[in-house]
Amino acid sequence: MKAAFVLVKCEQGRVAEVAKAIIEIDGVSEVHSVTGDHDLLVKLYAESYDAFGDLIPTQIQRVAGIRETSTMLAFRAFTGGS
Amino acid sequence: MKAAFVLVKCEQGRVAEVAKAIIEIDGVSEVHSVTGDHDLLVKLYAESYDAFGDLIPTQIQRVAGIRETSTMLAFRAFTGGS
Amino acid sequence: MKAAFVLVKCEQGRVAEVAKAIIEIDGVSEVHSVTGDHDLLVKLYAESYDAFGDLIPTQIQRVAGIRETSTMLAFRAFTGGS
Amino acid sequence: MKAAFVLVKCEQGRVAEVAKAIIEIDGVSEVHSVTGDHDLLVKLYAESYDAFGDLIPTQIQRVAGIRETSTMLAFRAFTGGS
Amino acid sequence: MKAAFVLVKCEQGRVAEVAKAIIEIDGVSEVHSVTGDHDLLVKLYAESYDAFGDLIPTQIQRVAGIRETSTMLAFRAFTGGS
Amino acid sequence: MKAAFVLVKCEQGRVAEVAKAIIEIDGVSEVHSVTGDHDLLVKLYAESYDAFGDLIPTQIQRVAGIRETSTMLAFRAFTGGS
Amino acid sequence: MKAAFVLVKCEQGRVAEVAKAIIEIDGVSEVHSVTGDHDLLVKLYAESYDAFGDLIPTQIQRVAGIRETSTMLAFRAFTGGS
Amino acid sequence: MKAAFVLVKCEQGRVAEVAKAIIEIDGVSEVHSVTGDHDLLVKLYAESYDAFGDLIPTQIQRVAGIRETSTMLAFRAFTGGS
């Protein structure tokens, strides 16, 4: 499985509503509210990087109340002793 | 336990070396190389938010080869059905 | 008490109105209009960092006329001779 | 008196040292370590906005260990009932 | 006289209309359409820095079709042989 | 011919629609959906740099569903052995 | 083949030297000097997205004179009539 | 004549020295120290946009003490009654 992270800015006052909608999407494993320029940090998985090309615009970005997203694909997960 | 995320820019050519040093730090649970403006995304845990005030400058930021960091504290982890 | 700073972008033409609404919120101690990318800099206090996780989305971000916020938690206040 | 805020990025591992040097500068009233893209938020006062044009480059920016600064001048401080 | 620069993002398709409205404002001396993240760069003058605190929010930012502004005050104009 | 690149943020859920409208514009040679802060990267050509001053605001930015653009002009294309 | 774009900031005065080194790397198809926050825009190809995870840090980022990179993977190339 | 603007970040403590070197370069008409993320705003002229492709990297960016530049080309200068 491949991992990606999406930083999300919500329309003001809709953070909890957006978070609850995103966590129900297939492939999404974590949704955190965070300090800084964005409201939410989302971690999601797919079988291939290509799959994120569909999953992010057609599933994540269509959630009502999202204003802006920034996507990072994770290439490699480092582990202790690696 | 409280969670935080740190985005890291490394000196050019030192990404793997920095990642391997960070993953050994107590409290660090994940280190991913990522696309975008930063080289690494780090997830770490501490017993309180106050503890990040020490952990990040004295442990993470002192790793040789780090050029810049951006820190996000996670307030709430949303879960399915929450 | 813990301190946090919130940088605020307002809908065009609503800076003074937003500032006056924010200064009335419990825990807010200072609201300044500032040069740069943001319109307002807000300083606020809470009893714990956890409290900001509620205070900022439910109180600050719901003020009408806010377009975008960026939150910084203050870990440590340095003082002369410290 | 006029107020300004300076966000500071420090060379890695030198945050406390830089903060302690800045707090000793005349006109500086607060130095906080903060989450986000910057390491420190500094509040300072001067008799006129013009004075910041000297104070910031000749006093603040010359502190050893500073890597980058971003300056915001405060135009107006909003107060309750104003 | 003091100088300031304002970078402006317009609502899509309204750049020329916004530029023509801004150039008519007292104190505005130049309006350029520019490449990059912003649509327009505006140069303006006022008798004091304090005056920008009124001029920018009440005159510039209220122009219809502006989406976002970023303000820079100019401290010193360097000249040849200075 | 001169080249330029435009990074585009779309209104949420309209990326494919915007991309298909842009690719039909004269002078546009490539439209890619991309990871990161923007949704699309567009490459376009014109006979002179001056022509981009018209082409980008009157053709690209008027496509329905665009929220924000950032324009880069390409000065020089480096080629192997150059 | 999959495509990616890398925006590059160079050490001051080394743009042409860096560009000439990058264009010789396998998989790199275009290097342009550009206006804006970055000095160069690089287009490169690999057989899979995974391959960029090696190619970018071990080939591109090790070029002498690079100061900072920002990577965008291209998911889909839109074409006329698509 | 065509106009361009260059925002400059200097090495800490070298703003005045850099400004004085830039103002002596042919084509440079204004250099201002400014508030915000950058230290200097430079206005320069050339006979064509192509000329900036040489002027900026070979003249401006080689000034000792510059750390980073961001370039905006000006397409059109709006004037009153235009």
Contact A76, B34 (CB under 8 A): no
Neighbours of chain A (3+ CB pairs under 8 A): B, C, D, F, G
Compute the nearest-CA separation of A53 from chain G (Å): 5
Residue H79 pLDDT > 90: no
G82 — pLDDT class (breaks 50, 70, 90): very low
pTM of the full predicted structure?
Answer: 0.95
For chain G positions 43-62, those within 8 Å of chain F (CB to CB) are none
Residue D81 pLDDT > 80: no
Average pLDDT score over chain D:
93
Contact D23, D41 (CB under 8 A): no
Report pLDDT for B13: 86
Q: Rounded to whole angstroms, how far apart are CA atoms F56 and F73?
A: 11
Task: Using CA coordinates, name the residue in chain C closest to E74.
Answer: C35
Q: Rounded to whole angstroms, how far apart are CA atoms C56 and D46?
A: 31
> Long-range contacts: E16-21, Cβ < 8 Å, 24+?
E16/F57, E16/H78, E17/E64, E17/E65, E18/E63, E18/E64, E18/E65, E18/E66, E19/H76, E19/H78, E20/H78, E20/H82, E21/E63, E21/E64, E21/E65
| Cβ–Cβ below 8 Å for C68 and A9 | yes
Query: Which tens digit of pLDDT belongs to each residue from G50-74?
Result: 999 889 988 999 999 999 999 999 9
Task: Using CA coordinates, name the residue in chain B closest to D68.
Answer: B68
Half-sphere exposure of D73 (CA within 13 A, CB side): 27
Query: Which tens digit of pLDDT belongs to each residue from A23-69?
Result: 999 999 999 999 999 999 999 999 999 999 889 988 999 999 999 99
Q: What is the CA radius of gyration of chain C?
A: 13
Query: Which tens digit of pLDDT belongs to each residue from D15-55?
Result: 999 999 999 999 999 999 999 999 999 999 999 999 998 89
Q: How many CB pairs under 8 A join D and H?
A: 24
First to last CA, chain A: 19
| Residues of chain D with C-beta less than 8 angstroms from the C-beta of A34 | none
**Residue of D6, D42, D70 to mutate, testing the H interface (most H Cβ within 10 Å of its Cβ):** D70
Q: CB under 8 Å to C71, separation ≥6 — which residues?
A: A35, A36, C4, C5, C6, C7, C52, C56, D35, D36
Report pLDDT for G81: 58
The first and second tokens of residue C82, run together, are: 């410290």
Report pLDDT for C82: 44
Which residue(s) pair with D19 in the sheet?
A: none
Q: A72 CB near a chain G CB, below 8 Å?
A: no
C26 — pLDDT class (breaks 50, 70, 90): very high
Q: By C-alpha distance, which of A69, A58, A82, A59 is closest to A8?
A: A69
| Cβ–Cβ below 8 Å for H49 and F76 | no
Please indicate whether chains F and H are in contact, defined as at least 3 beta carbon pairs under 8 Å: yes
Compute the nearest-CA separation of B4 from chain A (Å): 8
For chain C positions 7-46, those within 8 Å of chain B (CB to CB) are none
Report pLDDT for E12: 85
Compute the nearest-CA separation of C42 from chain E (Å): 17
Tens of pLDDT along chain E (82 residues)? 999 999 999 998 899 999 999 999 999 999 999 999 999 999 999 999 999 988 998 899 999 999 999 999 999 999 875 4
Number of H helices, E strands in chain G: 2, 4
Q: Rounded to whole angstroms, how far apart are CA atoms E50 and F53?
A: 35
| Interface pTM, i.e. ipTM | 0.93
Task: Using CA coordinates, name the residue in chain B closest to C53.
Answer: B75
| Cβ–Cβ below 8 Å for C82 and D3 | no
Task: Using CA coordinates, name the residue in chain F closest to A38.
Answer: F37
Residue D82 pLDDT > 50: no
Cα-Cα-Cα-Cα dihedral of H47, H52, H55, H57, to 10°? Answer: 180
E23: left (phi over 0), alpha (psi -120 to 50) or beta: alpha
Q: Rounded to whole angstroms, how far apart are CA atoms H14 and D61?
A: 9
The arithmetic mean of pLDDT across residues C40-58, rounded, is 93
| Residues of chain G with C-beta less than 8 angstroms from the C-beta of A53 | 75-76
